[in-house]
Amino acid sequence: MQSINDTYQRITDTIVKQLEAGTKPWIRPWRNDIRCSLTPRRATGEAYRGINVLMLWISSQIFGYEENTWMTYRQAQDLGAKVRKGEKGTLVVKYGTFTPKEREDDEDCSIPYLKGYTVFNVEQIKNLPARFFSPADELPRAPVPHIETVETFVKNTGASVTYGGTKACYRPNCDDILMPDRHRFDSQVHLYSTLLHEIGHYAVSRIMPHGRLSRRRRLHSAMRRFGIIRAIQGTQAVRRWDDTAQDGLLVWRPERAPFP
C-alpha cells in the first residue's frame, strides 16, 4: 500500500505536470452532444468531492472523455464488463479516520488515513449496461450573437477559423484554428474568450515563425509588446462591453500585432 506522502506526491505531480505544459485545470465552456453533469460521479451515482474532482477533470481534459461516470476495475468486472486492453486509470483518493482496536474506548483516538486507488471512465470500459451512459441531447440551434468589433479583430489577424464539431484548438501543421459550433456556447464571453485564447497560440507562430519557442525571454517580450496576453485574459472587451473596452483592447491592436 502506498504511503500518504506517496499519494500526495502523485497528486501534486499530476497537477504540476499540467501547469508546466500550460494546461490549467478548467471547465470546458462549450457543450457537446452528450447531456451530463460536469460533476464526476461514482458508479453508484454519488458525486466525487474535493481533490478527486480536479483529478478527474484533468484526466477528462487530457483524454477527451465526454462521460462523467467512473468506476474501479473490480466494479466493472462485477457488472460483467471489462476495461479495454491498454487503458490507463486515474488516481483518486479516499480520506477517513479509524480507531485502533486497543483504543476503541478513547473517543479522541481517531487516526486519519488517505488511501489512493485507480478508477476508469466508462468510455474505457466495454459491455457496460446502457444506464451508465448519458443520452444524446439535441442542442438548441441558437448560435451566440456576433460581436462585430471582436470579429473584425480576429479577421485582421489573418487567422483561418473554422466552426464545427466539439473541439477548440490551433493546429500548427495546418496553421488554422478549429472552434466548436457557435450554438454550443452559452454566452459571448465563453465563445470569444475561447477564440482569443486560440488566437494567442496562432500569434506565437507569427512571433516566432522559425520555431524558436525555447527562447522564452524573447517570446514573453513579444507577447507583452503586441498585447496578446491582455486579449486572452478573460476577453475584457467582452466582459466590459463599453466604448473604453472597444477602443482600448480591440480596435488598435490589429495594426500593431505581428500578423500578415
Distance between CA atoms of residues 253 and 248, nearest Å: 9
Q: Give the other-Cβ count within 10 Å of 59's Cβ.
A: 21
Q: Which residues of the chain have pLDDT under 70?
A: 1-5, 18-38, 103-107, 136-143, 207-260
pLDDT in tens, 56-65: 988 887 787 8
Contact 203, 196 (CB under 8 A): no
pLDDT in tens, 132-191: 987 765 555 566 788 888 899 999 999 999 998 777 888 888 889 999 888 888 778 888
The domain locations on the chain are 4-132, 148-256
Strand 176-179 versus strand 161-163 pairing type: parallel
Strand 125-126 versus strand 176-179 pairing type: unpaired
pLDDT for the residue numbered 14: 77
Beta-carbon contacts of 204 under 8 Å, excluding residues fewer than 6 positions away, are 213, 219, 223
pLDDT for the residue numbered 119: 97
pLDDT for the residue numbered 43: 93
Model-wide pTM > 0.85: no
- Which alpha helices (H) appear in the chain, and where do they start and end? 4-20, 51-63, 73-78, 148-157, 188-207, 216-225, 228-232, 236-239, 243-245, 253-256
* Burial of 80 from C-beta contacts in 10 A (0-12 / 13-18 / 19+): exposed
